[in-house]
Structure 1
């Protein structure tokens, strides 16, 4: 039976996902066949596996750190908030419907437990080490009866628990003591150590607090992890967007409109990692300014996010900038917004049957109940965006959308999809406006393709009378280096010998 370790937190956003990622890379480096697992995830930043299933982005990063292809068994339950305390519920990669928080927690979550257990059993047979991530806090007493992600999973997996606290936000000691106090005795016994995360300053000044904590709780402090800037590892939670600020003045200024239901915002991380690019997220009340490129990102609720643009004056600002020659890219929901109209006859996304779009592309999008999820390969044959002279195949990405886009007049497609979920096809994707300044596509991750990304950036540079750059960032190499850097810092910060001892000594179920 696989050895296990579980990382839980005193609250959300304390760094559970990142520490889990670090453990996956450390165990891989140490020669273990390791796999990540999170029973239930709530996130708008999702990913499509090779089998066409949808899962949380954090488990994708953890799988990559472990040297694995992501599979839905690593995250069997995914909740994608749609608004009004409602989420789309995705089981083993496929949606089963929209539910209110009350409907899910009181009527459905425990029904999903059998699927969670089956996935966990599968991973226990295939791997020798499982790193399990919890969610929120295990001390949320109002949710514990229907919990399928924290202590119930620790018991099911026979996993010792390490409790993580974020010291950067303050109150870490109180949150640790309070969390342990609110646990049942048998749950408290499962907690075998404490990790202090996101520390800044002189560790010697913290030592008395650590000694107090060990005496007060009877739990060893496994270590103190420093605050890490710009990890270069995919985030899953839009809360992390609050930490994403532009990197100062650079040659190219790209403005991403921060719509309320933004999804798959990691589509733009590769752009932000380029040395000549500043990516800034335009928040409510902020001006778009005069960027070199505007990006409308994906959305979990395209209709409501389109109305957000309209109600907050961003539609007017975008159209004025477009009329003055500012290029615009829309991805997935952002692509749908660029059209003339969005129709939702079955009310799959909102109460509106139809809403006018921005009118920058001659298209109409009709929402349907079925969601399309695929990994794809595509080619680009000089699609004309920015006058781009780029022709190349084997561009990688993925599709996650529920809309079908139709055109009122012939358009120049942005790409041609050549492979969808392993099946060879020939299907046009997206559109480029006649003036070459507006492009829409359903392909998430299109800017992760290094040569295409640099071609677009160089076209923007030429528009500003700047010389093209011959080199671009190797996205995959950068990711691997980031995982190694994270693993090194965490390994040096924690007593990994104690972690191994805890795992080895813990009785298997």
Structure 2
């Protein structure tokens, strides 16, 4: 197995997206390729077909490779729950909630064999591994316990490409400074630079590139232009960029307000609203952000009770209730769904010290938090109201068990004679445990058109493009963009590989 590793000068420099591009490029060139990230800290997760939970970035990268994602592709996932405490997920399953010091001092030394085993299994099945680092390899206070950057490159015997974000400024200082803080063996692994998110005139940048190569002796392999890629984001640092996406500001556009919870998770659930015609989106984190909205979304969260308390203390909860009373639409996803209920019970302190809380009181449901996380892909049909009978699919990641009061209506009928979610009689307030529900584009269009009709607005009749088609187009266009601006001949040379195309020997699991 050959490997290449992308490390960054900091978080959010675009490593995940560039790794996704390389995954698709190697696939297009005929190689059996897979992604790998040893340790990921992110609240956007992905559920594999066998019900394992990994970082969403590795799930997306596996899709770009056209293979089924497995827990080996991200053997350790950290999901922050509150300050200095995170859920530790090992090989796709809950391991423990740990404080940062306990994880660093007690668990990290035992993690290397787990990483080696995952690398070994991937090496048996794939020819090429695209490895993503985490944060920066030059965090000198953390290097003795680093299991995400140079130590992994050594385990996989992978050359390293260092990625820097020019859009945030200081790109040359960040690259040179990172190299200066690496030891000699680590610097020797760095075989090239990628400057990412460039938007400017290339001729102005060229003298700096020449200086950088002369100063370091390391080639700049590519300057990648800034682009909205349509690729799922890894963590909440990308929320800011969501606000930069082009909005439909027409007078008759539906206004969607998304509550930016302190512990927001799986916010990729919200991406379809940015693609939907006739919609404008606002992220709300305080009353100062509040404006009248046609739709209010309370997304998922890693700490439902703490974020519910935040909603109440900020005054946002009162605004949500008022909007519902005025007949506006309010929707909750996972933790947001739990918040819409009447009560939340946490007798064992699984989430926090809030043993019992009143919810927003907008849905006739009661939630009790219990040990044992449910992580599963699901599919079913809308069983009430708008879009009745429409096929939907998604995934569940939650600890709470929610019970509807007698006489209330479920939202979805799922496989295995299960139901999910709750919807009010007037169909204005509803909630579900299904992450990814809005990626069911026909369902989302039908729902939004119902709201348009209620407001006396014309419905959107544009053809609905399937999510799978959208994602494939995103992977293909991203790969084409990166091929244009990255010296792939040099990348193959660094990896000691030939670029010659050859047919895949067998169909990938996704192709099947």
The normalised TM-score by structure 2 is 0.94
The whole-number CA distance in structure 1 between the counterparts of 2:230 and 2:433 is: 24
SS in 2 for 1:260: coil
1:108-187 matches, within 5 Å, as 108-187=107-186
The answer to whether the aligner puts 1:451 opposite 2:451 as a matched pair is no
**Which residue of structure 1 lines up, in the alignment, with residue 404 of structure 2?**
407
Q: Which moved more, 1:403-412 or 1:212-221?
A: 403-412
Structure 1 residues 171-216: Cα deviation after superposition (integer angstroms, max 9, x where no partner)? 1111111111111101110111111111111111111111111111
The whole-number CA distance in structure 1 between the counterparts of 2:171 and 2:422 is: 50
The answer to whether the aligner puts 1:479 opposite 2:481 as a matched pair is no
The whole-number CA distance in structure 1 between the counterparts of 2:39 and 2:117 is: 14
**Which residue of structure 1 lines up, in the alignment, with residue 234 of structure 2?**
236
Structure 1 residues 84-135: Cα deviation after superposition (integer angstroms, max 9, x where no partner)? 2110000011111111111111110221221111111111110111000000
For the 8 Å contact 1:35–1:66, the answer to whether it is kept is yes
The whole-number CA distance in structure 1 between the counterparts of 2:408 and 2:468 is: 33
**Which residue of structure 2 lines up, in the alignment, with residue 490 of structure 1?**
482
Structure 1 residues 61-83: Cα deviation after superposition (integer angstroms, max 9, x where no partner)? 11111112221111110000001
1:432 to 413, 416, 423: 423
For the 8 Å contact 1:165–1:176, the answer to whether it is kept is yes
1:503 to 487, 492, 495: 495
Q: Which moved more, 1:442-451 or 1:272-281?
A: 272-281
The answer to whether the aligner puts 1:397 opposite 2:389 as a matched pair is no
Q: Which moved more, 1:313-322 or 1:262-271?
A: 262-271
**Which residue of structure 1 lines up, in the alignment, with residue 264 of structure 2?**
262
The normalised TM-score by structure 1 is 0.95
- How many residue pairs get aligned? The number is 493
Displacement of 1:285 in angstroms is 4.1
For the 8 Å contact 1:374–1:398, the answer to whether it is kept is yes
**Which residue of structure 1 lines up, in the alignment, with residue 504 of structure 2?**
none
1:235-314 matches, within 5 Å, as 235-245=233-243, 247-250=247-250, 251-314=253-316
Where does structure 2 lack aligned partners over 5 or more consecutive residues? 499-512
2:459 to 462, 465, 468: 468
Displacement of 1:446 in angstroms is 1.1
Displacement of 1:477 in angstroms is 1.4
For the 8 Å contact 2:5–2:132, the answer to whether it is kept is yes
Q: What is the RMSD computed on CA atoms of the aligned residues?
A: 1.4
1:376 to 371, 375, 378: 378
C-alpha distance 173-285 of structure 1, shift in aligned 2 (>3 A)? farther
The answer to whether the aligner puts 1:25 opposite 2:27 as a matched pair is no
1:216-235 matches, within 5 Å, as 216-228=215-227, 230-235=228-233
C-alpha distance 485-389 of structure 1, shift in aligned 2 (>3 A)? closer
The whole-number CA distance in structure 1 between the counterparts of 2:484 and 2:233 is: 23
For the 8 Å contact 1:73–1:120, the answer to whether it is kept is yes
Displacement of 1:284 in angstroms is 2.7
Q: Which moved more, 1:298-307 or 1:452-461?
A: 452-461
For the 8 Å contact 1:390–1:452, the answer to whether it is kept is no
**Which residue of structure 1 lines up, in the alignment, with residue 210 of structure 2?**
211
Displacement of 1:41 in angstroms is 0.3
Where does structure 1 lack aligned partners over 5 or more consecutive residues? 419-424
For the 8 Å contact 2:379–2:393, the answer to whether it is kept is yes
